[in-house]
Structure 1
Amino acid sequence: MENILYDGWEGLARILVIGVLAYACLILCLRISGKRTLAKMNAFDLIVTVSLGSTLASIILSKNVALAEGVLAFMLLIALQFVVTWSSVRIQWVRKIVTGEPQLLLERGRFIPEALLRARITKGEVLAAVRTAGVANLDVVQAVVLETDGSFSVVRHEAHSENSSLADVRGFEVRRVG
């Protein structure tokens, strides 16, 4: 029966050496790939980040994964992420698949029930986002948007402008005045 508390210095030394080398390789791969690799943008980026962490853990803890295999896995994940983000910047249908669309949840002080249901968001969560933005009165809120990264944006009423930050939000229409 294996000793589950201590299995000798060899295993500990392997973890120490491989852990330092794998961590250094991951940092190097991330530096080469650029800032966008770990940007907080959407669910896809979260998946890549979690996958990199899982790969690092596998390299460090599994005797069946060689350092070279782990580094190749890092490079593969980062390369795939690069291809997808490069494509999503240039091809609209890829962008929609990868990032989704911002969702209008409240407009001109009124909740949009269908949007809340579709996004699985409660009125209480929207109200909390409005309070976090320092707003007490819903009448001064032009819109609350669920962004593609899961955060809320609260936009106050302003003078009419055709150059609205809400132009790409599903359900929002720029209304012409006059």
Structure 2
Amino acid sequence: MWFDSWSDLGRVLVIGASAYVTVLLILRLSGKRTLAKLNAFDLVVTVALGSTLATILLSSDVSWTEGAVALAVLAGLQTAVALLTSRWPVARNWVTARPTLLLRNGEAIESALRDERVSMDEIRQAVRSNGSGDVSSVAAVVLESDGTMSIISAQQFGNGSSLSGVRGYGD
């Protein structure tokens, strides 16, 4: 089906422009955190916002008002969860995963690799991507809450204070 009607195209243009402006306003009001990729909940909200926008644009069963309310609900829930987790560390543990130490002083922590389902090949790839050719020169590899790996070289390690709260480091 290539074409249904001019009114359908007109609806997409009008509702699309309105929904776009609505998304921009909601994102501006809700703050930078709404589109951050800090943890799994942030990713879910980002995907849900995109899906909601697509539904508003393409489904004539959903009015602009319903879509705007849905977008506002998602942004509001994101804000509420961000406030909750920033004020009560216990709540943060419910919503986000703690970062995990995967490698210390060039040596893999096998139990952490197994628990996080990460291979040594993936560690080596992350180390190479960081510009190092020698795993033994790496003081720490941390699997962050958002799924990325942070690489800290031995020269940059300092007192290791950035590893506070990382599972497998000091607990």
- One-letter amino acid of the counterpart of residue 105, structure 1: L
Aligned counterpart, 1:8: 5
Aligned counterpart, 1:108: 105
Report the count of equivalent residues. Answer: 171
Q: Deviation at 1:35?
A: 1.1
For the residue of structure 2 that corresponds to 1:172, the secondary structure is coil
Instruction: Give the RMSD, CA atoms, in angstroms.
Output: 1.6
Aligned counterpart, 1:78: 75
Which whole-Å CA distance do the structure 2 matches of 1:125 and 1:86 have between them?
Answer: 34
Structure 2 portions without partners, runs of 5+: none
Q: Deviation at 1:57?
A: 0.7
Aligned counterpart, 1:40: 37
Structure 2 residue 23 is the aligned partner of structure 1 residue 26: yes
For the residue of structure 2 that corresponds to 1:165, the secondary structure is helix
- One-letter amino acid of the counterpart of residue 47, structure 1: V
Structure 2 residue 134 is the aligned partner of structure 1 residue 123: no
Aligned counterpart, 2:56: 59
Which whole-Å CA distance do the structure 1 matches of 2:64 and 2:114 have between them?
Answer: 46
Q: Deviations over 1:114-138 (max 9, x none)?
A: 1111111110000011111111222
Calculate the TM-score normalised by the size of structure 1. 0.91
Structure 1 portions without partners, runs of 5+: none
Runs of 4 or more above 2 Å deviation = 158-163
Query: What is the aligned-residue identity percentage?
Result: 46
Deviates more, 1:43-52 or 1:136-145: 136-145
Which whole-Å CA distance do the structure 1 matches of 2:154 and 2:54 have between them?
Answer: 48
